[in-house]
Amino acid sequence: MKYKDTQLLIIPGLGGSGVDHWQSFWLQKFDSSIRVNQENWNKPQLKDWLTNLNKAILRIDGPIILVAHSLAVSLVLHWVNTYTNSNIKGALLVAPADVDSPTHTPESVRGFAPMPLAKLPFPSIVVASENDEYISLERAEYFAKKWQSEFINIGLKGHINSDSTLAFWEEGQAILAQLINKIP
């Protein structure tokens, strides 16, 4: 990586990331990766999840790149509205779940609404799929514009999760490298 001692902070969404999820494969591949754990993956509470994310960030001494999937994307945006930490150098925001939309997401995530729309204070890339059941492509692009993130459409990859059978998701690793190159 561009930065010596940069940590990838892997932040799973609703349900956690199972063994077949690309985030779990990245934890195996990158020695510099750490996973944020939540006490209840299936009944998310914003306040508890925010506290756990912030604790994980505070435990890392050095540069951090956030790697969030699904519900964790809104968690990152809520974290930015609540906390600050100069160690955060960038964020890879994959398949954001539209927490504002009862059509796209379950009631259990409504506590994460409304989706924060403020500009992110670090470089970021939003990765979305054309056939993600949890967000429309247009809505994902709208969020990226509000956050002033680069937007990448990776085609028909579903929710970019275990069901997408991406394993080490080499395309995602290339996008991560693009993000790292954006970091001043």
Complete DSSP assignment for 129-156: -TT-TTS-HHHHHHHHHHHT-EEEE--S
**Over the stretch 139-184, which tens digit does the pLDDT of each residue have?**
999 999 999 999 999 999 999 988 898 999 999 999 999 999 999 8
Q: Which fold has domain 7-182?
A: Rossmann fold (3.40.50)
Answer yes or no: are the C-beta atoms of 74 and 16 closer than 8 Å: no
> Residue ranges per domain, the chain?
7-182
Whose CA is closest to 141, among 131, 128, 132? 128
CB-based contact 89:65 (threshold 8 Å): yes
Taking the C-alpha atoms of residue 137 and residue 133, their distance in angstroms, rounded to an integer, is 10
Average pLDDT of the residues in 124-128? 98
Integer-rounded Cα radius of gyration of the chain: 15
Instruction: Please state the pTM of the whole predicted model.
Output: 0.96
